[in-house]
Structure 1
Amino acid sequence: MTPYAMLLGDRMAALPPACRALHAGFGAFEGRIAVTPADAGALRLLARAVGLPRAARDVPFRLVTEADGQGARWTREIGITRMVSRLDATKDGLLAERLGLIRVDTRLVPEAGGLRLGAERVMMLGVPLPRALWPRVAAREWQEAGLYRFDVSIALPLLGRLVSYTGHLHTMPARNVGTLAQPSQDL
């Protein structure tokens, strides 16, 4: 079972079909993405150091989700850049995503037409950061024109945007592309 399915439980049924298709099982999905990097060079270097994607304008996007112990591994291929993170359901009902040295625990908040992720805890090297130092993460997903749509923005306090990205994936079985694996339910 995916961490999203574990955390949402019966609330999965309220998600739009494209969102349910991505989070109900594991698989590979293709679409398009645009990535806007930080304005300042030092912030772009920091973004690269923690594994965030480089600038990209309407490039191919491939997401592969696979079981990894009790959690999941998400591999995002954005143009020529690869971003890998590990997701787990925490004991206190949050989605923990590890990317490089950073772990962000978010609450999954179903809302009309989709899902919003709200940061609840941020750690670096396993040490909780004070809220004043947390990156500001705004993330949401929804269905539009049969596509899974997403919009993510990450900014640092006082310094500004670290990265933002938006795009879509084909998650519906009839729309999944080429030889990609269809999402599967865990038994």
Structure 2
Amino acid sequence: MNLPLFRRLLGQDIEALAPTLRQAHDATETQRWTGTAVVTSSRNPIAILLCLMLKLPAPGTNIPVTVVFERRRDGERWRRTFAGRSYHSDFISKSGLIVERMGPTTNIFCLSIRKLCFSLIGFRFLGIPLPAWLRPRCPAIEREEAGRFVFDVPVSIPWLGFVIRYTGSMELIDD
């Protein structure tokens, strides 16, 4: 089996991650994490349509969440389910960056390990690259808190404003 995707991207720097994040991102086997989340979203009709199109979570509090990190030969697939609403992303490494394909979108992130910060530096819609002034902002952060995997994923678009934000915490479930 190849080295895990995040180990390939971060090298020895992955050792600096909090133990829970290292457990999630430096494993070679498929893992299931569960917890709860809070989702807030825009009431703008365009933002609502985008969230529906991408199958992003519906708004709510104390929403049950499950994330399955499926290890693949060339990367990872993250299968996320928020209160029964599921979507997935495929992640690969390209030129030292992490590339996420989710439906018609491609997100290109640069990772940093202060927490685990995903800085969106490129975006494609239907394969067409969008200039910086059009692309979404998604300063996603993962961290450990009280031994739990904590995520914070805010999304906005410069010309539209706030779209969605989902935050929550999870723990590894042994199947």
Alignment TM-score > 0.5, same fold: yes
Say whether 1:83 aligns with 2:87.
yes
Calculate the TM-score normalised by the size of structure 1: 0.87
Say whether 1:105 aligns with 2:108.
yes
Calculate the TM-score normalised by the size of structure 2: 0.92
d(CA) in 2 for partners of 1:2, 1:88: 10
Question: Which residues of 2 match residues 36-185 of structure 1 at below 5 A?
Answer: 36-90=40-94, 92-111=95-114, 114-170=115-171, 176-177=172-173, 180-181=174-175
Q: Structure 1 residue runs of 4+, over 4 Å off?
A: none
Unpaired runs of at least 5, structure 1 = 171-175, 182-187
d(CA) in 2 for partners of 1:70, 1:155: 29
Determine if contact 1:39/1:161 at 8 Å carries over to the other structure: no
Q: Deviations over 1:31-78 (max 9, x none)?
A: 111111122133111211123221121111111011233111110011
Which fold has the larger relative contact order, with Cα–Cα distance below 8 Å and residues 6 or more apart in sequence?
1
Structure 1 residue matching 2:139: 3-state secondary structure: strand
Q: CA deviation at 1:126?
A: 1.7
Q: Deviations over 1:124-151 (max 9, x none)?
A: 1222111111101111111111111110
The match for 2:26 is 24
Structure 2 residue matching 1:47: 3-state secondary structure: helix
RMSD of aligned residue pairs (Cα, Å): 1.3
d(CA) in 1 for partners of 2:54, 2:81: 16
Percentage identity across paired residues of the two chains: 30
Determine if contact 1:135/1:157 at 8 Å carries over to the other structure: yes
